Structure 1
Amino acid sequence: MKKCLFYVLFSLTLLSGYAQENQTLDLNLKQIESLFLANNLDLIATKYNISIADAAISQARLWDNPSLSISNVNLWSTKSQRDEIRDMTTSSFAKNTEFSVELGQLIQTANKRGKLIQREKVSKEIAIQEFEEVLRGLKTELRKTVFEIEYSQSYLRILNNQQKSLGQLVEAYKRQVQQGNIAKNELLRLQSSLLELENEINETQSELNDQSKTLKILLNIPPLVNIQIIDSLEAVKTPETILLSDLLEKAEEQRPDMKGMRLQTKLHQKSLDYEKSLRVPDLTISAAYDRYGGVWKDFIGVGISIDLPFFNRNQGNIKAARLNIEQSQYLVEQHQNTIRHEIAAAYNNYSYAYDFYKRINKDSLLPELDSMLEAYTKNLLNRNISMLEYIDFMDAYRTNKQTMLNAQKKVDIQFEELQYITGTDIN
């Protein structure tokens, strides 16, 4: 798998650098997902939030910087002041200058720094779950896009096959009209059917182009590269082998948004702990030197300062933090209830889609349709069937093929939707 991914990435590098014409790359679903994980720009950008959260943790670990202040500096002195100072000292250092210097350091109490670190760690866990949520959504979009492309590519092959048969008939009828063997209105009826078919081919190709654009953006590959999806032919999982109770349990354990909401409650709890610690005043210790500012010409002293929590004891923020906890608990309960109903609905949708797919596979004449198309074309050329019978068969052929492809696509998409809502791959 790693060698295959390396080959794909190397091919894309060459194509992006040298491709002047449209190039085609054959990929299966696993190769596409590997490219997606390596190249998707939304994923790469979102992952930076985890590193940003790491930086916030590192910042929370840091001590407050000490403060240094210099004050009471006289910019000039009078003669009488200088004479007085001369009598007091023989030192030449700043001998005519009075000043004071103070060095202070804030000491956080009540383990504020530790509580802030714990809060930032929870924020990192939330960033990880947000990344997982983005990954979950983008991966589902990727797989659904692949299924849509597979459908469009298969349907185009069917339409092109019909176009080939109709084109041969139109050319044969043109010769017959020129020879006067058949009426011209029959040729016009065939040409009208061919035009309708070509119009549907153009519309399907347009849809395929839009789907391919979405896939290329998700994979971050050059626009000149065409992608041909190789059918994986993976067996469809029967609903009977999937227990709804297991899905409900997995969703509550695995869904990133559910984990994120629980972490929000935890974050609010850590915020409450931190806000409570802010009720305790911090200490500031200091050491000061004063020259000529008091009784002694060189004075060194130490000090300590603390706020007196008479009025502001952080009451409002503590109350808000408690309310945030209660609010988040209700939101978690509501989200759990929503998830349960989403899973039940998605499971039922998948069951219905699977039952319909199996039924038409069992009862359908689809395996015989391609040989019947060839037979009907020959019979019309040999005048064994009427034009109306042939046109009716062509419509039935296209409708049955399209119904089968739609049923397959519906099963794949509904199963992917079930996996998305569960929050994990269902094995």
Structure 2
Amino acid sequence: EETRAKVAQASVRIEAVQAKRELVRAKGKLAAMVGADPRNIDISNPNTIALPRLTALPELLAQLERAPGLSRARALVEQREAIVDVERSRRMPDVTVALGTKREDGRRQTVVGLSVPLPLFNRNQGSLLESLRRTDKARDELDGESLRLRAELYDAHARMSAALEEVALIAADVLPGAESTYQAASRGFELGKFSFLEVLDAQRTLFQSKNQYLLAVAESYRASAEIDRLVGATGPLTGTTQAQE
């Protein structure tokens, strides 16, 4: 029985060390994303950690319409359509007007002549069809790019929303509960009411909760950066805000 207790205690101690190491790594990842010093990230008060601001989806969709990728695709369509207009105009024959004079019955008369070539063999069909084909292809590419960007935007927005909800839940319920449990276990151990194993288990849970919180914050920043990339924001369109009490 004593051996099993020692093994269990060693196992919990190892898990606590691993949880602490993961917490340090999570701090480093978050610090790299927000440009901060990991030592300045105070997880003891999560409400002081700045969070990215979630912009409403309709506003982001409006921004997406002006994104560089769609603007380039749209400009290509307009260019192809202009070429089609040029090729279509070449199907119409040029009318040549000739003005001259002639003498008939001793009188000088003004003569106007019109010359219209008959497009019996060349109606510019080949060039026109090729330009129409290229225009259709450009429109398809524009539609495809729009659908792709919209899908990625919906996904990034959903991920960011879920991450921020997780952050709020952990900060409001999980972290306070884990901290309270650890403090109670530590005091109980000092009074002889709890075993050291229970203290280690509470400490491991606390470290895991803090790590989970930082990972959720980091995920919200990753999704925010993805949104900014999709809409072509030159600055952080999503902004930042403090975690709410």
Q: 2:139 aligns with which of 286, 310, 329?
A: 329
Q: 1:389 to 1:362 in 2, by over 3 A?
A: same
Q: Does 1:394 align with 2:222?
A: no
Q: Is the 8 A contact 1:265 1:328 kept in 2?
A: yes
Query: What's 1:403 paired with?
Result: 212
Q: 1:229 to 1:325 in 2, by over 3 A?
A: farther
Partner Cα distance (1:235, 1:414) in 2: 15
SS in 2 for 1:394: helix
Q: Does 1:422 align with 2:231?
A: yes
SS in 2 for 1:404: helix
Query: What's 1:284 paired with?
Result: none
Q: Is the 8 A contact 1:252 1:258 kept in 2?
A: yes
Q: Is the 8 A contact 2:179 2:206 kept in 1?
A: yes
Q: Does 1:259 align with 2:71?
A: yes
Query: What's 2:166 paired with?
Result: 356
Aligned-residue offset at 1:191: 2.6
Of all paired residues, the percent bearing the same amino acid is 19
Aligned-residue offset at 1:337: 4.0
Aligned-residue offset at 1:408: 1.6
Partner Cα distance (1:368, 1:340) in 2: 40
Partner Cα distance (2:201, 2:20) in 1: 19
- Larger RCO (CA under 8 A, 6+ residues apart): 2
Q: 5+ unaligned residues in a row in structure 1: which ranges?
A: 1-182, 216-226, 280-309
Give the paired residue count.
Answer: 196
Q: 5+ unaligned residues in a row in structure 2: which ranges?
A: 42-47, 92-119, 240-245
**CA distances 1:227-285 after superposition (whole Å, capped 9, x unpaired):** 9557687743554xx333221111101x2211121132244346658889999xxxxxx
SS in 2 for 1:236: strand
Amino acid at match of 1:351: S
**CA distances 1:193-233 after superposition (whole Å, capped 9, x unpaired):** 33344556678889999x7xxx8xxxxxxxxxxx9557687
Query: What's 1:236 paired with?
Result: 51
Q: Is the 8 A contact 1:350 1:418 kept in 2?
A: no
Q: Is the 8 A contact 1:366 1:400 kept in 2?
A: no
**CA distances 1:362-383 after superposition (whole Å, capped 9, x unpaired):** 334439829945x645653664
Across the aligned residues of Structure 1 and Structure 2, the Cα RMSD in angstroms comes to 4.5
Aligned-residue offset at 1:358: 1.9
Q: 1:198 to 1:353 in 2, by over 3 A?
A: closer
SS in 1 for 2:65: helix
Query: What's 1:191 paired with?
Result: 10
Equivalences for residues 290-329 of structure 1 within 5 A: 316-329=126-139
Amino acid at match of 2:141: L
**CA distances 1:170-204 after superposition (whole Å, capped 9, x unpaired):** xxxxxxxxxxxxx5654443333333445566788
Query: What's 2:95 paired with?
Result: none
Equivalences for residues 27-426 of structure 1 within 5 A: 183=2, 185-198=4-17, 235-239=50-54, 242-253=55-66, 255-269=67-81, 316-366=126-176, 369=179, 372=182, 376-377=185-186, 379-380=188-189, 383-424=192-233, 425-426=236-237
Q: What is the TM-score of this pair, normalised by structure 2?
A: 0.57
Q: What is the TM-score of this pair, normalised by structure 1?
A: 0.36
